[in-house]
A and B are shown apart, each in its own frame.
Chain A
Amino acid sequence: MRTMAIVRRVFKQMLRDKRTLALMFLAPLLIMTLMYFLFQNNTTQVASLGVHHVDQSVVNVIDTKNVTIHHYDSSQARKMIKQHDLDGYLTQKNGQLTITYSNSNPTNTSLIKASLQSGLVKLKMKTLVTVTKKQRAALESQQAALKKLTAAQTQATVTKLKTAIAQAQARGDQATAEKLQKQLKQATATTSSSTQSAKATSYTTKSHYIYGSSDSTFFESFLPAFLGFFVFFFVFLISGVSLLNERTTGTLSRLLATPIRRSEIIMGYLIGYGGFAIIQTVLTVVFTITVFKIHLVGSIWLVFLTNLLLALVALTLGIFISTFANSEFQMIQFIPLIVVPQIFFAGLVPVDGMASWLQAIAHIMPLYYGANALTAVVTKGAGLGDIGVNLLILVGFMVVLTMLNIVGMKRYRKV
């Protein structure tokens, strides 16, 4: 009953604060859209490569749409890169290729590297192909000679048989004529079948992607983690600041001068802001699925559930952290300390490859579990059984923080 009074108040306050509402509901969509376009297409980047005395065959294979080639007359790579603002410089001495990277833009460096590598592989293949081609030509001419021989032989047999048939017919020996006719048919049949088997078998490949498509982008692979992050970030900020406001304006201690339980206040907050978190989640998830045509492999309900749990953890964490802040400004100061580090452990960098002490840190971050679960559901279609442990840990975070919050309010009233 009293909890619901708090919930109603939270709802009324939020609905009247249009700016905060917009921040919570529109900002995630805006940022997602921005990221979608930012990470959409990174193949338009072109690196410039200077070359000096390099075999034309090599230059030809390196010259792709990601690398433009400029020819220069100097072998001084360092100087030329500086002078012409190049990303790399390639020189050749006999069979030895030497590449110098400017490396001021690592993306361009890797573009050149990739082009060079695939180009050299292509070149090797080409030489291989020419060799085989020559061998094949030799083989084919032999085969043709063989064929001619067999054809001549068959021809001889056929003519022989034909004359025999004619002789038999002239003799009126029908039976022998028929027998010879059969032989003739057989002889012609063998030649046609031998030509058929010479045809080569060719394979075609067709690729299927379970999640995303052949042009899957950075955006798509990290989308699930971001879905969790947005909810976490905004709920943390809004709930933390609003409880802080209650503390600084004195309404919190005024509330505690009524018979309300401390737990009822916290529950009111959980339900009230949890409600807004659900709306936010539904909005962002539906938006990404419909507008960006993101393919969701798993159940959308599991996405909602995971996000709700993340939101509740963020809520209790925000309330908890707000007790250490004395102003909104101080609350903002906790964002780089508490919220931003979490995004690094949300799957942007694979946690398995981290140093063990970093892995330990990852395991105390709620977003690590939330993002893991979300990624599993969205990209692999994981079920409740697969992500159950992650969800339970989130519940654990929430329960512990809620307890701490309820105890923490003893500052304002002893019971």
Chain B
Amino acid sequence: MATDYVIAKQVSKHFGHQQVLNQIDLTLPAGMIYGLIGPSGAGKTTLIKSILGMEAVDSGTVKVMDTVMPNRAVMAQVGYMAQSDALYETLTARENLTLFGQLMSVPKIKLAQMIDYAAGLVDLTSQLDKRVSGYSGGMKRRLSLAIALIQDPQLLILDEPTVGIDPELRQQIWTELNKLKDTGKSMLVTTHVMDEAERCDYLMLIRHGIALAEGTPAALKQQYAVDTIEQVFLKAGRMQDANDGNR
């Protein structure tokens, strides 16, 4: 029994003439929060979709839970939160959660309990029976996160989970993610918020589809001899541009 939830090897992908992912290696062991950072358009979302098997890759292999992707059955063990909210607006939050719970094969008797748990985590309990069309942007984001948690998955793949969520609730969510981590679950998270990046156990910086740097936050700061991840981000970017210029 391997303890690596995700093993991606030499993943490459292009759209048209644009090389979006260039030989990316990524390994996510159990009990880790893995952060993906990088500028907009770097290829983070594409990488996540390739890992899930929703995007065909040109070359390279992806294994999730020891299963070569794409694979339909493995999806039940992965909680996915897309970058843009994909919710049924005419349904209530509870109905959305119920639908995805059923699709994820959550047992009937456990479903109500799981809905309460997931909604409580994102502070939506009191708004569960309101239609999603009446939700604010942040509320929709939180509901998407609750849906990712509905089947209590071992692996969470969250694409910018905290966009549009206020600082207080964000703290709460990160505390909860850490608790989940302590039970042996793993998370792959993309973010543009640098203090969130600091909270990750391991980071990968992607730029123009290339994995520029990776390591624990502390190791990265040491490697680039700077004080913050933000400075790592900026410095690595400048170095890549300089290298490209030299060529």
Contacts and interface: CB of A to CB of B under 8 A. Distances in A.
Interface of A: 1-2, 5, 8-9, 12-13, 16-17, 249-251, 253-261, 412-415
A250 B72 contact: no
Chain B's interface: helix, strand, loop or mixed, by majority? Answer: loop
Contact of B99 (A5, A250, A253): A5
A251 B87 contact: yes
Contacts of A413: 53-54, 70, 72
Contacts of B99: 5, 8-9
A250 B82 contact: yes
Interface in B47-89: 52-54, 56, 70-76, 78, 80, 82, 84-89
Interface stretch (B9-17, B100-108, B171-179, B183-191): B100-108
Contacts of B105: 1-2, 259
A2 B102 contact: yes
A255 to B, nearest CB: 7
Contacts of A9: 88, 91, 95, 99
Nearest to A258: B103
A404 to B, nearest CB: 19
Contacts of A256: 54
A256 B102 CA distance: 13
A253 B104 contact: no
A8 B105 CA distance: 15
A9 B54 CA distance: 23
A253 B54 contact: yes
Contacts of A412: 54
Given A9-B91, A257-B52, A259-B73, 15 more contacts: A2-B103, A5-B99, A5-B102, A8-B99, A12-B95, A251-B86, A253-B82, A255-B103, A257-B80, A257-B82, A261-B72, A413-B54, A413-B70, A414-B56, A415-B72
Given A259-B73, A414-B53, A13 B90 contact: yes
A249 B76 contact: no
B45 to A, nearest CB: 12
Nearest to B53: A414
A246 to B, nearest CB: 9
Nearest to B84: A250
B153 to A, nearest CB: 11
A243 to B, nearest CB: 13
Nearest to A412: B54
Given A17-B90, A415-B70, A258 B54 contact: no
Q: Which are the 10 A-B pairs with shortest beta-carbon distances? A: A250-B86, A254-B86, A5-B102, A414-B70, A258-B103, A259-B76, A251-B86, A259-B75, A257-B80, A415-B70
A1 B107 CA distance: 11
A8 B54 CA distance: 25
B236 to A, nearest CB: 31
A16 B92 CA distance: 11
A258 B91 contact: no
Contacts of A12: 90-91, 95
Contacts of A260: 72, 103
A413 B103 CA distance: 16
A250 B82 CA distance: 9
A5 B99 CA distance: 6
Given A12-B95, A413-B53, A413-B70, A249 B86 contact: yes
Interface centre among A9, A250, A412 (most CB of B within 10 A): A9
Contacts of A17: 90
B3 to A, nearest CB: 23
Contacts of B102: 1-2, 5
A121 B73 CA distance: 82
B124 to A, nearest CB: 18
A410 to B, nearest CB: 9
A330 B91 CA distance: 26
A27 B91 CA distance: 25
Nearest to A253: B54
Contacts of A251: 86-88
30 contacts: A2-B102, A2-B105, A5-B99, A5-B102, A8-B99, A9-B95, A12-B90, A12-B95, A13-B90, A249-B87, A250-B84, A251-B88, A253-B82, A253-B86, A254-B80, A254-B82, A256-B54, A258-B75, A258-B100, A258-B103, A258-B104, A259-B73, A259-B74, A259-B76, A259-B103, A260-B103, A412-B54, A414-B53, A414-B56, A415-B70
A254 B80 CA distance: 8
Nearest to B56: A414
A415 B86 contact: no
A102 B170 CA distance: 81
Contacts of A254: 80, 82, 86
Contacts of B74: 259
B195 to A, nearest CB: 28
A249 B86 CA distance: 6
Contacts of A415: 53, 70-72
Given A5-B103, A415-B71, A257 B88 contact: no
A403 to B, nearest CB: 18
A16 B99 CA distance: 16
